[in-house]
Amino acid sequence: MATILDGLKVSKEIKNEIRIEVDKIVADRRRPPHLAAILVGNNGASQAYVRNKITDCKEVGFKSSLFTFSSTVSEAELLEKIEELNKSKDIDGFIVQLPLPKQIDQEKIIMAIDPRKDVDGFHPENFGKMALEMATFLPATPFGILALLERYQIDTKGKHCVIIGRSRIVGKPMSILMGRKDFPGNSTVTLTHSYTAHIEEFTKNADIVITALGDPNFLKGEMIKNGAVVIDVGITRVEDTSEKGYKLVGDVDFESCSEVASAITPVPGGVGPMTRAMLMKNTLLAYKTSVYND
Ligand code: NAP
């Protein structure tokens, strides 16, 4: 039976470490870090994500602000708010919760965020720095996966890492980070996507498989090799008869994969909470940079 990579437990440890730092900052009579969020429309998942981020801020002692807009908001209005947050001396970092409605050009919005406040790490300047292995904000989900691999001391050097999905926020940055000259990293990386033929030929040869495609239970036990490390990023809401009306399902068929893998992340309680903790870590980093630069 595989070791469970307990993201919930590790994320609590990381948030505790952040809380200790924030308590020291406040004891020194300095203001706490401040994260702001822009939420557009009433997408249930987006609302839940933002609510969680606000809860995390409370837990670690950050101040938080939420700016909500209706789904009919204009691009100009959003850009105006971003400009205001860019200039605010009181706000260290902010996020624009994605996806955005069709009338808004997502690229334009991301480009408008001051890279020094881009705690999601989505701005091309930060993505470029990451790719060049320069210090910057790493996108929260890949950053969380690195932290989990590090805390469990998973050997990544010289290993074959197969990533399924090439999104800008997970798969693509993850492929760069696993191939960097560092720990975790130094892996030989294969980045797969929907046009990859015979994907199981890649996954069967992988020491580490990272799934980020959004297809419930896609990866089966027979698609991985004995002793593989399996990291499941996928979160899909699948309808059920519970009070909520849905449950969260990963891309990995946990039952069959956990019989074969040496280590595996659960859903929920794996990568999700790690992502949340790393946003807090990035905000603390933004705070330290901005306050000490003043
Ligand atoms: P996305 O933008 O939805 O893209 C999905 C990627 O998977 C695309 O690159 C697509 O290929 C690829 N793909 C789709 N079907 C495939 C198949 N059958 N075989 C191989 N590749 C396939 O991805 P995302 O935003 O990264 O989200 C992926 C999943 O992770 C979702 O369930 C999302 O909810 C979850 N997620 C979780 C967290 C977390 O904190 N745990 C954070 C972010 C996302 P093409 O490029 O060819 O279309």
What tens digit of pLDDT does each residue of 137-146 get?
Answer: 999 999 999 9
- Spatial contact of 258 and 2, defined as CB atoms under 8 Å apart: yes
36 lies in a domain?
Answer: yes
Q: Is the pLDDT of residue 267 over 60?
A: yes
What is the model's pLDDT at position 174?
98
pTM, two decimals, is 0.97
83 lies in a domain?
Answer: yes
Tell the residue nearest (CA) to atom 15 of ligand 1: 194
User: What gap in Å lies between CA 270 and CA 9, rounded to an integer?
Assistant: 9
Task: State if residue 249 touches ligand 1 by the CB under 6 angstroms criterion.
Answer: no
192 plus 267 within the same structural domain: yes
What is the model's pLDDT at position 292?
52
Give 87: exposed, middle or buried? Use CB within 10 Å, 0-12, 13-18, 19+: exposed
What is the model's pLDDT at position 1?
84
Of 110-119, 131-140, 284-293, which gets the smallest average pLDDT?
284-293
Task: State if residue 140 touches ligand 1 by the CB under 6 angstroms criterion.
Answer: no
Return mean pLDDT, the chain.
97
Atom of ligand 1 nearest to the CA of 276: 40
* 263 DSSP β-pair partners: 3, 229
Atom of ligand 1 nearest to the CA of 196: 20
User: CATH number of the domain that 236 lies in?
Assistant: 3.40.50.720
176 plus 80 within the same structural domain: no
| Angle at alpha carbon of residue 207, lines to 204 and 211, rounded to 5° | 75
The residue-averaged pLDDT of 29-36 equals 97
What is the model's pLDDT at position 291?
58
What is the model's pLDDT at position 8?
98
17 lies in a domain?
Answer: no
Report how many domains make up the chain: 2
- The b-or-e profile of 107-129 (16+ CB within 10 A means b, else e) is eebbebbbbbbbbbbbbeebbeb
What's the domain range around 262? 140-272
Spot the catalytic one: 15, 92, 97, 251: 97
